[in-house]
Chain A
Amino acid sequence: MQFGPHLLLAILEGLVTASILSLTAMGLSLVFGVMRVVNVAHGEAYMLGAVLAWWVTGLIAGHPAAGFVIAAIAAPLIMGALAVASDRLVLKRLNYDPDRTIVATIGLLYIAQQTTLMSFGPDARPVEPPFNQRIALPWLERTEEGWAWFYPWGLSITSYKLFVIAAAALILVAIWLIITRTRAGLLMRATQQDSETAQAFGIPVGTVYSVVFGIGAALAALGAVLVVPIQQAHYLMGGEPLLLSFIVVIIGGLGSLPGTVIAALLIGLSDGIISVFFSPTLAKIIATLLVAMVLVFRPRGLLGKAPA
């Protein structure tokens, strides 16, 4: 394949990675932005979302789309509920102390991981995509007779991957509208900016924290449900999205939602392109190097704000 079509393919693969990453990182960023909690167990919400999707789709007979739709509803709801319970039982009791919540979420990470290993075993579990037609992509090239469309061999993408990109974009727009246009979003933003004063205006900060922690986990689970027909569910799959989400959140600016989306696109696209032309390991090395450079030259990240 020529360079141009090859690059288009890499960009499309990168967009799929970026879409999943923006959902997962958005959850982490939301939790840090509002609660100031560094949730080390966030990758396990992703892993549990994927395992739940495999489990739910296995229960539903018939067309794979039926199981997928039910998994896309059930997995985020179950993970959200588990996260709310974790917040009430653990984080709230630690008074959201930044240091102790890191240790506590490390504990939650191991509990989730080992419980999954004991319940579902160590094997990777596939989930059938709800639809998966291969779509050949056209490429415009100049020939002796002028510009013409043709279909290079290998330049194609599945309909499911295009669906993942569109679904992630829709979910992100929905989250953005909830945060900026609804009363619930207003309460979250007020709590994010000054939780003590928020209480003096009747905002139940503890409830806001629980809901935000639940939404963060639900977003990670939703990302996992979308990805699991492409990658298999496995009890150790939470590590990489956690690392990449931290990279995205640091580059984008801690707590900045637009920064998170921009950084996810940057990391996802570079991961896709470098993985296709070089190797996935090099892509991770460059992403980690980028974080180091951001921490040195712009510690607040791309769109992070200095404390008032």
Chain B
Amino acid sequence: MLEATGLRAAYGPVEVLHDVSLTARAGEITCLLGRNGAGKSSTLKAILGLLPPSRGTVTLDGAALHALPAHEIPKRGIGYVPQGRRLFRELTVAETIEVGLMTRGEGRETRDWVLDLFPRLRERLGQQAGTLSGGEQQMLATARALCLRPKVLLLDEPTEGLQPSMIDLIRDVTVRMRDEGYAILLVEQRMDAILDLADRAVFLETGRSVETVARADLTPQTLHRRLGV
């Protein structure tokens, strides 16, 4: 279980997270919802140490992560699919997967498992990541994160800019990971893509977590009240 409590973080002098608390449980999809600029992506970066929190704690199964250097945090079992994919554009698909595998010392078995999840990538192993289609890039970004065999998967707008068939594929993989016991923390702008997926939702407003609701309470009325949609 990933738990963040009272997170505060700043880009230089500008504080963007004032007080964020959330919990992502194993076998659940926790959605992080909020308007543009509410601090959703910054929260994921703070959990990963890419935006070091100035206050607050982050723990994974009780072990503190917030004091670790950023490159040590993924090794504890946190996989990250960044907004906009952020692939290493000049690395090939095989090299990108290798980078993911190296993070936690995973081997051929994990590589085969990931390539079985995304068979299209197997056909593109020698191709540079930057030359893949948008959908294939998203598959690769997800595959790279899954190569860690993480306990928690952080997904930042994984369906952004994708065609419907690709959105379905990413949704299917996300649900499969949830069913296999992964804790998933999902940031998504497309409400239609996530409403039926979320087991729990945390609403953010201007850098503060203001409400956590269970699936049963995640109704269009709640979304309208919190997000105005």
A residues in contact (CB < 8 Å) with B? 183, 186-187, 189-190, 193-194, 196-205, 308
Determine the residue in chain A with the shortest Cβ distance to B50. Answer: A196
B98 at the interface (CB under 8 A from A): yes
Bound complex: CA A201 to CA B102 (Å): 8
A193 touches B71 (CB 8 A): no
Give chain A residues whose Cβ lies under 8 Å from the Cβ of B71: 199, 202-205
Chain A's nearest CB lies how many Å from the CB of B185?
A: 14
Q: A200-B50, A202-B75, A202-B104 are in contact. Are A186 and B70 (CB under 8 A)?
A: no
The 28 listed contacts between A and B (C-beta, < 8 Å) are A186-B98, A187-B102, A189-B88, A189-B90, A189-B95, A190-B88, A190-B99, A193-B88, A193-B89, A193-B90, A193-B91, A196-B50, A197-B86, A198-B99, A199-B50, A200-B50, A200-B70, A200-B82, A201-B80, A201-B100, A201-B102, A201-B103, A201-B144, A202-B74, A202-B103, A202-B104, A204-B69, A308-B130
Determine the residue in chain A with the shortest Cβ distance to B80. Answer: A200
A189 touches B91 (CB 8 A): yes
Bound complex: CA A193 to CA B99 (Å): 13
Interface residues on chain B, number (Cβ under 8 Å): 27
B residues in contact (CB < 8 Å) with A? 48-50, 69-72, 74-75, 80, 82, 86-91, 95, 98-100, 102-104, 130, 144, 148
The answer, among A190, A202, A308, for a CB contact under 8 Å with B91, is A190
Give chain B residues whose Cβ lies under 8 Å from the Cβ of A186: 91, 95, 98-99, 102
Q: A183-B102, A193-B88 are in contact. List 6 more A-B contacts (CB 8 A).
A: A186-B91, A186-B98, A190-B99, A197-B88, A199-B50, A201-B144
Give chain B residues whose Cβ lies under 8 Å from the Cβ of A203: 71, 99
Chain A's nearest CB lies how many Å from the CB of B52?
A: 11
Give chain B residues whose Cβ lies under 8 Å from the Cβ of A201: 74, 80, 99-100, 102-103, 144, 148
Determine the residue in chain A with the shortest Cβ distance to B104. Answer: A202
Bound complex: CA A162 to CA B80 (Å): 52
Bound complex: CA A187 to CA B88 (Å): 11
Bound complex: CA A199 to CA B95 (Å): 16
Give chain B residues whose Cβ lies under 8 Å from the Cβ of A194: 86-88
Give chain A residues whose Cβ lies under 8 Å from the Cβ of B90: 189, 193
